[in-house]
Amino acid sequence: MSFISVEQTCDFSYHNLPYGIFSTADNPKHRIGVAIGDQILDLSVVKSLFGGPVLSKHQDVFDQPTLNAFMALGYDAWKEARRTLQVLLSANESTLKDDISLRSRAFVHQTAATMHLPADIGDYTDFYSSRDHAVNVGTMFRGKENALMPNWLRLPVGYHGRASSVVVSGTPIRRPSGQMRPDQTKPPVFGPSKQLDIELEMAFFVGGGNQLGEPIPISRAHEHIFGMVLMNDWSARDIQSWEYVPLGPFLGKNFGTTISPWVVPMEALLPFVEPNPIQDPEPLAYLQHTDAYTFNINLFVSLKGELMTEAVNICRSNFKYMYWTVKQQLAHHTVNGCNLRPGDLLASGTISGPDPETFGSMLELSWRGSKHIDLGGGNTRTFLNDGDEAILTGYCQGAGYRVGFGSCRGTIIPALQH
């Protein structure tokens, strides 16, 4: 255990140790921190203590304003850093615990910190890997018999999103305007989206990349997956439904994507691994792996209207409901020789389970606006109102501890007047 006190229900236990980028009022420089309890360990202050065979030559990565350089060092460096942190924060290790001067400089209370995007995100890909979600949406738009497209059970379907509009938790999201066609007998109209939605997702950061033309085999995919965050991939359903044929989402998606600030290392998630879903038909050889890489991560979505005093839960889901694993997503992304780079972000797609309370979007919860979502006190929604705050949280539950992600939140502000 650690000499830092951690409540049993705190997301940031000694078993977690996620990485993030923070600044403070008295030091506006962006720097790398590790969360434990209600504290942040400033790695730029303790960088000289990373004396292992890999990091002793690269201590400067902990002086950078993003995680990209650290991610680029690769799998062995990440494992070495985690081992060092576990030792430094251990109750039995005096180096940090008993040096009062060093401790006073190295730790920052989380309430005193401003969080920033963890990485310079060069590229962002969004997959569509929840079978329950794909069936639900397909049923709404094409009917139950044609819910899944012929390729869906054969490969992890995905599209390239917009990296420039990925923002950190807490950033307001402006209601987008665009073309819509609410009446199919009339021409399209322009205006603010009336069907603004959340999407409960998770995403992983690519660590070490690959050379152009050289795929990453699935047997080594784990060496390129740095860690995971929560994601809300905001969606304007009315804009999306008019524009997406034949090339897929565009303005209905690229106006904003929110991620949580703390990147949970894959090593912290491994104790919560579960058997992979049975995939029938059997995937092609390049997508096959026998090792378990599906994770039991409890996920929640809450909504707080502008005049509501507290947020109300509208979804309880789990990452274990995913059909395609993150290893399969990464292997498929690179099988054609596409080069991934440190800091690239690959998202799961909306995470829905088999039951209505596990549906990860308001599109599903309201079944395309045909049902009201009850928020209590006479408040209901089908889609988001201006002033609504959406809050995503998630954690793995251990024996007396959690490995959690903090929160991923954003508030809708009104569309600009055109």
Hey, which bits of 233-271 come out as E strands? 235-236, 257-259, 264-265
Contact 266, 301 (CB under 8 A): no
Q: What per-residue confidence (pLDDT) applies to 194?
A: 98
DSSP 83-119: HHHHHHTBTT-HHHHS-HHHHHHHEEEGGGEEEE-SS
Residue 143 exposed, middle or buried by CB count within 10 Å (0-12, 13-18, 19+): exposed
**Nearest to residue 388, comparing CAs of 261, 279, 302, 283?**
302
Q: What per-residue confidence (pLDDT) applies to 418?
A: 80
DSSP 180-204: E-SSTTS--EEEE-S-EE-BEEEEE
**Alpha-carbon torsion 66, 70, 71, 72, what sign?**
positive
Q: What per-residue confidence (pLDDT) applies to 215?
A: 98
Which pair of tokens denotes residue 14? 């000694």
Question: Which residues are part of the catalytic machinery?
Answer: 133
Q: What per-residue confidence (pLDDT) applies to 141?
A: 87
Per-10-residue mean pLDDT for the chain, 418 residues long? 96 98 98 98 98 98 98 98 98 97 98 98 98 96 92 97 98 98 96 98 97 98 98 98 92 98 98 97 98 98 97 98 98 98 98 98 97 96 98 98 98 95
**Nearest to residue 118, comparing CAs of 23, 41, 12?**
23
Which pair of tokens denotes residue 116? 């920033």
173-174 and 402-413: which strand pairing?
Answer: parallel
pTM over 0.95: yes
Residue 137: enclosing H or E segment and its boundaries?
Answer: helix 131-142
Round the CA-based radius of gyration of the chain to a whole number and report it.
22
How many CA within 13 A on the CB side of residue 297? Answer: 29
Contact 233, 360 (CB under 8 A): no
- Find the largest Cα–Cα distance for the chain: 74
